[in-house]
């Protein structure tokens, strides 16, 4: 079991990903971008009293379950659908004793997925709310929307993010807009 006080995310990632592989680089590059954006928000908002160490660790681990999914465009050839990567990653982190980090994994997809949405859309997900609760979870979920895994050098515009989220319902866009206003004052990023 990994001690949460001395967590080294890359050591844990390397237990599941071949270091140097294309998938390893995709995951690590994407996660580094998410981590940096989330930490930037944390530093700009001292009033939230965010746990920056936790944000750095959880942002690096939020997508650890992607290798279990079938997403060939990002070099994943597992048996599960991509939407399942969050709870699958959470299972990995729970096995390591990282219960708070696991919550970030299972709650970061889209802007979170409600039980109602899971049932209505018959999604292959556990029947419970998978919505970010803590500010740390919300900041990581928000930061994740800006970065692609298909092109890790690309930063998505606000317009692109809103268009992508709209496919999953207006409530996803509303939540993203609320976070954008809270974390960045709706300024262009």
For the entire predicted model, the pTM comes to 0.93
Q: Which element (helix H / strand E) includes 162? A: helix 158-166
pLDDT tens-digit readout, 7-18: 899 999 999 999
Cα separation, 185 vs 177, in Å, equals 10
pLDDT digits (tens, 9 = 90+) for 29-42: 999 999 999 999 99
DSSP letters of 30-46?
HHHHHHHHHHHHHHH-G
Residue 156 neighbours by CB under 8 Å, 6+ apart: 145, 146, 147, 148, 164
**In contact, 137 and 129? CB cutoff 8 Å:** no
Set out the domains of the chain in order of their start, with CATH numbers.
4-183 (1.10.3210)
- Over residues 138-146, the mean pLDDT reads 98
Q: What percent of the chain has pLDDT over 90?
A: 90
């Amino acid at each position: 079991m990994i001690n949460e006080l001395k967590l080294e995310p890359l050591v844990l990632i390397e237990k599941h990903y071949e270091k140097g592989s294309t998938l390893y680089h995709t995951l690590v590059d994407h996660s580094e971008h998410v981590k940096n954006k989330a930490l930037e928000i944390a530093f700009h908002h001292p009033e939230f009293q965010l746990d920056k160490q936790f944000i750095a660790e959880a942002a690096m681990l939020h997508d650890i379950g992607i290798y279990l999914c079938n997403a060939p465009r990002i070099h994943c050839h597992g048996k599960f659908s991509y939407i399942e990567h969050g709870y699958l990653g959470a299972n990995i982190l729970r096995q390591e004793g990282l219960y708070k980090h696991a919550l970030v994994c299972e709650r970061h997809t889209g802007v979170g997925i409600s039980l109602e949405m899971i049932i209505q859309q018959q999604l292959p997900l556990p029947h419970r709310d998978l919505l970010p609760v803590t500010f740390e979870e919300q900041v990581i979920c928000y930061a994740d929307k800006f970065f692609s895994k298909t092109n890790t050098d690309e930063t998505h515009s606000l317009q692109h993010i809103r268009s992508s989220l709209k496919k999953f319902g207006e409530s996803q866009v509303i939540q993203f807009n609320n976070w954008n206003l809270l974390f960045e004052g709706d300024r262009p990023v």
